[in-house]
């Protein structure tokens, strides 16, 4: 039996919608399917403005531009995240200040934030790892008292909530990923959500290469021209068409993914209770969205043995992330603080195969192999 780490899920309508784009000649960005996706996100989750992007990386770069950070400004974020989170702000010349994550859940630790804030701090980026919400009440309280711009990196967090509020709707802006490993996919693709009305007009301009083309297409101006910085952040309408097919089946996809998460939990709960592995419980303020299933081995050596054993048995499990504050690029830039929880998660995490068509029998095999090796 071979069990891959990921297998993209297709609803069956993707080729039809993409072909429709070709037949109608709507291939470039901001076409019919882009608008359908925008309408879906705004109506379902109440985002003030939704803008599809070519990737979550692009959405983060737009967020950095909207935050107006520049050289000399400081941006606080977790070190336990994908490089795009930091890259977006480093590209603006900002100084990145890495914070540690919690001991129990690998989200940024609110208890450690205020000690990092200085008069140069301008923005705070939180990452909802594995779709579990950061404690956003505490984040927004800290940000409000220090006048900080808040970005929710919700790459993992589609259809996940904090106290009944959709993630990505609480900070000034939010960013999502539709990479093929995520719940809802478009191959590549992303989304910027804008939750501050004063930012919407500029967000559209940045999205359209620094022009007011979006306003022109609505008939609000009689010509469009270069009015600000920007880039070609919008995806082709064919990407949006693929995504729209996925969105039409969001409920079905989420039901299946949540079932898989629960099945893993049933398989490994006793192993966790015995102290042989660890993974967090879902906090009372958060919801589970079936983004992934992971656990922590008891050491990096045990993690290595687990991954090798699973691979020998035809099961591809993986690990991530390497701490950004210890990366080659950031050498000499970190202030020397120890981030012990980041180090522990990075050296011990195991991500198990997770995709919609993963069968219960396959999860049972994976669970049996994990129990055997630990």
* Residue 222: predicted pLDDT: 84
* Residue 38: predicted pLDDT: 98
Q: Whose structure tokens read 């000034």? A: 172
Residue 267: in which H helix or E strand, if any? helix 250-273
Tokens linked to 231 = 């880039």
pLDDT tens-digit series, residues 99-110: 999 999 999 999
Residue 231 in 3-state DSSP?
Answer: coil
Q: Whose structure tokens read 């306003």? A: 215
Specify whether the CB–CB gap between 175 and 59 falls below 8 A.
yes
Specify whether the CB–CB gap between 37 and 243 falls below 8 A.
yes
Enumerate residues 6+ apart whose C-beta is below 8 A from 143. 124, 149, 150, 171
Give the number of C-alpha atoms closer than 13 A to the C-alpha of residue 26, restricted to the C-beta side. 19
CB atoms closer than 10 angstroms to residue 7: 15
* Residue 363: predicted pLDDT: 98
CA 153, 181, 17: angle at the middle one, nearest 5? 100
Residue 159: in which H helix or E strand, if any? none
Kindly state the DSSP code that residue 221 receives in the 8-state scheme.
Answer: S
14-248: what fold?
A: 3.40.640
250-373: what fold?
A: 3.90.1150
**In sequence order, which ranges of 75-131 are alpha helices (DSSP H)?**
83-90
* Residue 72: predicted pLDDT: 95
Q: Whose structure tokens read 């990096």? A: 300
Stretches in the chain below the pLDDT threshold 70? none
Nearest 5°: phi and psi at 172?
Answer: -60, -40
* Every domain of the chain and the residues it spans: 14-248, 250-373
The answer to whether the Cα torsion of 296, 302, 303, 306 is positive or negative is: negative
């Amino acid at each position: 039996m071979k069990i891959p780490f990921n297998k993209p899920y297709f609803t069956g309508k993707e080729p039809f919608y993409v072909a429709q784009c070709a037949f109608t000649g709507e291939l470039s960005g901001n076409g019919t399917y882009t608008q359908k996706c925008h309408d879906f996100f705004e109506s379902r989750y109440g985002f003030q403005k939704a803008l599809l992007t070519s990737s979550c990386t692009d959405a983060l770069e737009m967020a950095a531009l909207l935050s107006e950070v520049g050289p000399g400004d400081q941006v606080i974020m977790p070190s336990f995240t994908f490089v795009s989170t930091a890259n977006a702000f480093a590209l603006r010349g900002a100084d990145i200040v890495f914070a540690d994550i919690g001991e129990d859940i690998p989200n940024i630790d609110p208890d450690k934030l205020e000690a990092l804030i200085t008069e140069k701090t301008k923005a705070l980026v939180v990452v909802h790892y594995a779709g579990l919400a950061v404690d956003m009440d505490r984040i927004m309280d800290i940000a409000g008292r220090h006048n900080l711009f808040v970005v929710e990196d919700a790459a993992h967090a589609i259809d996940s909530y904090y106290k009944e509020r959709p993630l990505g709707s609480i900070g000034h802006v939010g960013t999502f990923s539709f990479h093929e490993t995520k719940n809802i996919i478009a191959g590549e693709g992303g989304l910027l959500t804008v939750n501050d009305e004063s930012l919407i007009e500029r967000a559209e301009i940045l999205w359209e290469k620094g022009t007011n083309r979006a306003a022109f297409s609505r008939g609000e101006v009689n010509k469009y021209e270069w009015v600000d910085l920007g880039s070609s952040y919008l995806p082709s309408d064919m990407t949006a068409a693929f995504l729209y097919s996925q969105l039409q089946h969001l409920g079905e996809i989420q039901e299946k993914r949540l079932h898989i998460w629960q099945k893993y939990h049933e398989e490994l709960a006793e192993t966790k209770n015995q102290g042989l592995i660890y993974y967090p419980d879902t906090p009372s303020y958060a919801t589970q969205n079936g983004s992934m299933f992971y656990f922590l081995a008891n050491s990096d050596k045990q993690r290595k043995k687990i991954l090798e054993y699973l691979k020998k048995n035809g099961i591809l499990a993986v690990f991530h992330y390497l701490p950004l504050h210890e990366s080659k690029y950031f050498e000499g830039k970190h202030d020397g603080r120890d981030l012990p929880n980041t180090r522990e998660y990075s050296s011990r995490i195991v991500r198990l195969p997770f995709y919609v068509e993963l069968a219960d029998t396959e999860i049972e095999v994976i669970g049996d192999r994990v129990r055997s090796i630990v």
